[in-house]
A and B are shown apart, each in its own frame.
Chain A
Amino acid sequence: MRKKILELKGLEKHYPVYGGVFKRKVNSVKALDGIDLDIYRGECLGVVGESGCGKTTTGKAVINLHAPTGGTALYYPENGEPVDIAGMSNRQMKKAGIRSRLQMVFQDPTTSLNPRMLIKHIVAEPIKEQEKLSARELEAKVVSILEMVGLSRMHLMRYPHEFSGGQRQRIAVARAIAASPEFIVLDEPTSALDVSVQAQILNLLDSLRKDLNLTYLFVTHHLLVVKYISTRIAVMYLGKCIETCPTDELFMNPLHPYTHALLSGIPNPEVTGNSSRIVLEGDVPSPLNPPDGCRFHTRCPFCIDICRREEPALIDVGGGHSVACHRQDSVAALVEERYGISGYC
C-alpha cells in the first residue's frame, strides 16, 4: 500500500473581484474550484492544463503559499497524525515543523533568486532557519548541497546574474532541497530554459527525487516533459481536475475528450507523416462565470444534453484511473470514428 503524503478534499481558491461605489465583493475568479486529489509518497505527480486552468494555483495552494479559501489539505507526516494545513499561518506551520517540509521551485530562476544576495547566502538561508551551525559547518553544508545539484565551491561567492539560466535553476533547486523537504512543487521549472538545458534539469530533478526520497508535484503545460518525468498525471480544466491516472495509461487510453485534444495537439518532434489532430473551437470560458454542467461542454465535440445540465463527478474507473465525463465509455470510439486517432503512443 502506497503511503499518502497529501490529501486534497474540495480545495478551493477564489480571488475576489470588487466593484460598485463601496468596492464590495461582486464576484470571484474561481481559479481553483474544488479539487480532490491524493498525492502519494515518492511519486512525481504531473499537473497539466492550459494557462488559466488553475494548475499553478493548485501548486501554491497545496503547500499553503497562497492560503486556500475552502476545502482541506491534509498533510501526512512520515509518522504521526495527519494535519490540515489549509488555513494554517506560516508561523503555525513553522512551529509544527512542517513549513520547511513543503517547498517550491519557481518557473523563472531570474526572479526567484534575490539579485542582491550571494549564492552562499541564498542556499544558507533555509539551513539557518532549521539549525544553528558554525560558519564553517554551514559553508561545508552549503557546498555539499551545491555539489548535489552539479555546482561547486567556486560558485559560492557569486551573484545570481553571473550564472546562465540552467545554473540559476540549479541554484533554485539547491535552495529548495536545503530546507530538507519531503514534498516539492515544481512550477514549470524548465519552461524558461533552453531546450538543450531542459534535459539537464529534468535529469537532475529525477535523480534527486530517487536519492532523497522526495515527492514532486510537477506543474507544466508541456505534455512530453511531463510524460518523461512523471509517474502519474492529473489533467486540469478551468479550476477542476478532470482526469488522473498513471502516465503510461494516460497516453495509451485517455478517457476525457479534453485529454484527447491536448494529446493530439502536441507537436511531435519525430517525423511520422501522420498528424491528424482534434482542433477545439473557441476559447476557454472565463473563470469568473464558469459554465453550468460540465465545464468543458462549450468546446466539447461530443457534447450531449446531460453535459449542459449536470456536472460530472470524478469517478474511479479502476487501475488508479479517474475521470470526470458523462460519456467516458464511448469517447475513445467517438474520437477514432471522427478523427481517426487511436492512442498516442
Chain B
Amino acid sequence: MTAYIIRRLLFLVFVLFGVSILIFGLLSTFSPERRAAAYVTTPQQAENIPLIIKEYGLDKPIYVQYGKWIQQVAQGNLGWSLVAARPVAKAFWNYFPTTLELNLFASPLVVIVGIWLGTMSGVYRDSFFDHSTRIAAIVGWSLPTFLFALILLMIFYGYLDLFSPGILSSELALWVANNPDQFVRYTGMYSIDGLLNGRPDITLNALNHLVLPVLTQVIVVVALLMRVMRSGMIEEMSKDYVITAKAKGADFKTIYQKHAKRNALIPVITVAGQLVALSMEGSIAVEVVFNRQGMGWWLAESATQLDMPVLMSVCMFVGLVFVISNLIIDIMYAYVDPRIRLH
C-alpha cells in the first residue's frame, strides 16, 4: 500500500512535468512579446517588455526558456492575468472558491442521486421506472451543458423570475465589496461566509444563485454515473452469489442492498475519474452561462483574450487536481474491492 502511494506520488510529479512541457510547447508558438506576459507580475513591468524578453531569454532556445519558466513557477510566480488584472497566483484565490462551492453542492447530489437511480432501474429492470430513467439519462447525456443552462435561465430567470445569474444580487455584492471589514471572506464561498459572518441573508441569496448552476451540473454529470450503476447492478444481480444468498433465505432487499450493490459500485469507481473530468468541463459551461466568476469563467475568458499565463497555470492546476483525485479513487477502489491489493 505505502509502496503504491509512493509510486503514485512519483507518477504525479512525472505527469505534472509532462503537462508543463506539453503546455509550454503548445504556447511557444506565440511571439516572444506575447510570451513575455507569462513573467510579468505588475502593470509597471508590462511597459518594458523588451527588457523581460532579454532577461528571460525569450529569444533563446526553447529548453532554456522552459528552464527559466519552471524556475519562476517554482517560486510561485505564475505571471500576470490580463482578465483578472492581477497576478495569476492572487487571482487564483479569487476564482477558485466559487468553483469549489459549485462542486461542493453538486457532487454529493450527483453521487446520491446517480447511485440511487442506477440501483433502482437496474434492480427493477425493464419496468416503467427503468425505461423512464433510461430515456431521461440519454436525453440528459445529449443536452449540451451550455444550452441546458441557457434554457434554464430562459425559464427560471426570464419567464418565472425565480433565480438569477451571477453569484450574489448586485446590492449585496456591492455591500460586501464596500465593507471588507464587516464581511470577512474566510472561505471565499458566500454561502458559508454568510453564516460565519452572521449574515444568513447573504447565505440564502448565495444559495438562491446556486440552484440553477447546481441543477445543470447534476443533470449533466449524473447520466453517466446512473448508466454505469444500472448496468453494474444488472450484471451483479445475475451472478451466482445472488442465487446463493437467495437460497440462504435472503429477502429481495437484502440481496440487492447488501450483496449486489457493493459489487456494482466497483465499475462505478472505474469511471469516477471520468466523472471528475466531466464536472470540470461542466463547471466551465455553467460558469460561463450563469456568469459566475470562477475558474471556468476565468479560463474561458482568458482563452478568448489569449491570456496565456492563465491558460498555462490552469492546465497545471487541473492536471494536479485530476491526478490527485485519481489517486484517491484508486485507494477507494481498494477499500470497496478486497480483491485489489495495491502493490
Which residue numbers of A lie inside 8 Å of B, CB to CB? 18-23
Contacts and interface: CB of A to CB of B under 8 A. Distances in A.
B10 interface: yes
B258 interface: no
Contacts of A20: 3
A22 B6 CA distance: 9
B10 to A, nearest CB: 7
A22 B7 contact: yes
10 contacts: A18-B343, A19-B3, A19-B343, A20-B3, A21-B3, A21-B6, A21-B7, A21-B10, A22-B7, A23-B7
A23 B3 CA distance: 9
A21 to B, nearest CB: 5
A20 B7 CA distance: 8
Given A18-B343, A21-B6, 4 more contacts: A19-B343, A20-B3, A21-B10, A22-B7
Nearest to A18: B343
A19 B3 CA distance: 8
B14 to A, nearest CB: 13
Contacts of A21: 3, 6-7, 10
Interface in B1-32: 3, 6-7, 10
A18 B3 CA distance: 12
A199 B6 CA distance: 56
A16 to B, nearest CB: 13
A20 B1 CA distance: 9
B12 to A, nearest CB: 13
Interface string B281-292: 000000000000
Nearest to A17: B343
Nearest to B5: A21
A122 B7 CA distance: 45
A109 to B, nearest CB: 24
A27 to B, nearest CB: 11
A19 B343 CA distance: 6
Interface in B152-206: none
A13 to B, nearest CB: 22
Nearest to A22: B7
Nearest to B4: A21
Contacts of A23: 7
Contacts of B3: 19-21
A18 B342 CA distance: 12
Contacts of A18: 343
B3 to A, nearest CB: 5
Contacts of B7: 21-23
A54 to B, nearest CB: 24
Contacts of A22: 7
A18 B343 CA distance: 8
A21 B3 CA distance: 5
Nearest to A23: B7
Contacts of B6: 21
A323 B189 CA distance: 79
B42 to A, nearest CB: 43
Contacts of A19: 3, 343
A236 B183 CA distance: 80
Nearest to B2: A21
| Residue among A19, A21, A23 with the highest chain B CB neighbour number at 10 A | A21
Nearest to A26: B343
A221 B3 CA distance: 40
A26 to B, nearest CB: 9
Contacts of B343: 18-19
A19 B7 CA distance: 11
Interface string B213-232: 00000000000000000000
A19 B1 CA distance: 10
A110 to B, nearest CB: 20
B9 to A, nearest CB: 10
6 closest A-B pairs by CB: A21-B3, A21-B6, A19-B343, A21-B7, A20-B3, A19-B3
A124 B3 CA distance: 51
B13 to A, nearest CB: 13
A178 B249 CA distance: 54
A193 to B, nearest CB: 22
Interface in B58-105: none
Interface in B296-343: 343
A29 to B, nearest CB: 14
A84 B7 CA distance: 41
A21 B10 CA distance: 9
A208 to B, nearest CB: 38
A36 to B, nearest CB: 35
B256 to A, nearest CB: 31
B186 to A, nearest CB: 39
A21 B343 CA distance: 8
B313 to A, nearest CB: 30
A23 B7 CA distance: 9
A21 B6 CA distance: 6
| Residue among B6, B10, B343 with the highest chain A CB neighbour number at 10 A | B343
Interface string B115-132: 000000000000000000
Contacts of B10: 21
A41 B199 CA distance: 93
A18 to B, nearest CB: 8
B8 to A, nearest CB: 10
B279 to A, nearest CB: 31
A154 to B, nearest CB: 37
A22 B3 CA distance: 8
A20 B2 CA distance: 9
A22 B7 CA distance: 7
A49 B7 CA distance: 40
Nearest to A19: B343
A114 B3 CA distance: 41
A19 to B, nearest CB: 5
Nearest to B341: A19
A27 B297 CA distance: 52
B305 to A, nearest CB: 44
Nearest to B9: A21
